[in-house]
């Protein structure tokens, strides 16, 4: 069985950098990190769930 293409997408490795020294700059950066993390974590968790389902089916693991 093949994995869904969206599950094979790697997470970004180049994160945005802080553009200034204000609280607004920090807040914008943190919001960008939250969005990146949320997308990557959801994809990673879905991939792990799929692998576990396949192992359970193939090897009878729970």
Where do the DSSP E strands lie in the chain?
none
* Average pLDDT over every residue of 13-18: 94
Q: What is the pLDDT of residue 7?
A: 84
- pLDDT score of 62 more than 70: no
Q: What is the pLDDT of residue 4?
A: 82
Residue 57: its H or E element: helix 23-59
* Average pLDDT over every residue of 33-52: 93
- pLDDT score of 26 more than 70: yes
Measured distance CA(20)–CA(37) in Å, rounded: 22
Local confidence band at 35 (pLDDT 50, 70, 90 cut-offs) = very high
Q: What is the pLDDT of residue 18?
A: 97
The answer to whether 18 and 29 are in contact (CB under 8 A) is: yes
Nearest to 11 by CA among 34, 33, 44: 44
């Amino acid at each position: 069985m093949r994995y869904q293409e969206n599950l094979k997408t790697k997470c970004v490795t180049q994160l945005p950098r802080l553009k200034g020294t204000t609280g607004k700059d920090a807040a914008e950066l943190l919001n960008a990190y939250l969005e990146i993390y949320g997308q990557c974590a959801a994809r990673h968790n879905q991939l792990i769930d799929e692998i576990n389902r396949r192992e359970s089916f193939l090897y009878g693991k729970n």
